[in-house]
Amino acid sequence: MTAFAGFSQKKKKLLIESKDEVIEAAKKELDFAMKAPEGEIYLFAQERGIKGEYTFDISIHEKGKTASVFCDSREGGSIKMQNTLKDFIKEFQFYFKMPKGKKYKFTYVFKFK
């Protein structure tokens, strides 16, 4: 479960219609999930010993679901770590929804020490 300030599973997801606003909201949620000590992605990476820097192209659609994840580049880490992170991000659920039929792509850099 993603813990994002101001959102809970029981609340109705906010509809965001602008492409720029969707991408901004998605990046903010990922930033939050990357923060120590309780961010969902941070904890996942800590449990699995993921290290390095991974640049992913992420596509999201309709109900805040991740449609696809592709790795653009990797510095440090390993292919196994990259694929473990990619699979986790593929299942990541954003706490907003988008207009029906829309799919937006953006780049995000995940940095682990």
Tens-digit pLDDT profile for the chain (113 aa)?
Answer: 444 444 444 568 899 999 999 999 999 999 999 999 999 999 999 999 999 999 999 999 988 999 999 999 999 999 999 999 999 999 999 999 999 999 999 999 999 99
Supply the pTM of this predicted model: 0.87
Which two structure tokens, joined as six digits, stand for 62?
Answer: 């309709």
CA angle (54 as vertex; 26, 113 as ends), nearest 5: 105
Beta strands in the chain, from DSSP E residues, in sequence order: 14-15, 52-61, 65-75, 96-97, 103-112
pLDDT at 92: 94
pLDDT at 8: 44
Domain ranges of the chain: 14-112
Other CB atoms within 10 Å distance of the CB of residue 101: 7
